[in-house]
Amino acid sequence: MSEGHHHAREKSPSELRTMALEALLVERGLISTDAVDAVVELFQNEIGPRRGARMVARAWVDPAYRKRLLADGTAAAAEMGYGGAEGERLVCVANTPDTHNAIVCTLCSCYPWPVLGVPPVWYKSPPYRARMVREPRAVLREFGLELPDTTAIRIWDSSAEVRYIVLPMRPDGTEHLDEEGLADLVTRDCMVGVAVPHVTEGVAA
């Protein structure tokens, strides 16, 4: 293990500032730890991933935007008003019938915060980080995603320099849905590559 790897789990200056601010606000009685947890939960599962979902839906309905997204993810995100720290260089990779993409950060937990929100606990866990590279098909199966043997799996390793987002394939049976309806089908896990969008019962009716 190289010298740099020993420091991979040290907290960044922005993380340390956030922790200090939270501690101060809680100590002064301005917010509760429950309130902090609720905000984190909201940003992790709703607000953050909803941004990426809107980008995916736009790419599904607008071929020109799809082209721009795949050419320059950062600029395509900025078009929709998304950007900032942890998303300075965003690369979008598209799933195809022959290739499935998934994202990992083998050194720590680099993640495209502006378009996916707060990284989930499992993304930061050492088993996911190690096994996703070594045995991706088995890991995806544990997430409930069974891919055909004929589908190649490509793993993208995020870093401090570049973050990735997966553009999943548009599900069949969604021709009647508008952009907002399509965005509802796209979850955070779809954009990390551990799931694919599905038409839920009742949506396709």
- Catalytic sites, residue numbers: 105, 108-110
Task: Taking the CA atoms of 70, 71, 72 and 75 in sequence, report the sign of the dihedral they define.
Answer: negative
3-state class of 99 per DSSP? strand
CA angle, residues 67, 110, 180, in degrees to nearest 5: 45
Instruction: In whole angstroms, give the CA distance from residue 111 to residue 86.
Output: 7
The Cβ of residue 41 has, within 10 Å, a number of other Cβ atoms equal to 12
Task: Give SS3 for 133.
Answer: helix
Question: Is there a contact between 12 and 85 (Cβ–Cβ < 8 Å)?
Answer: no
Cα-trace Rg, the chain: 18
Contact predicate 165/191, CB 8 Å: yes
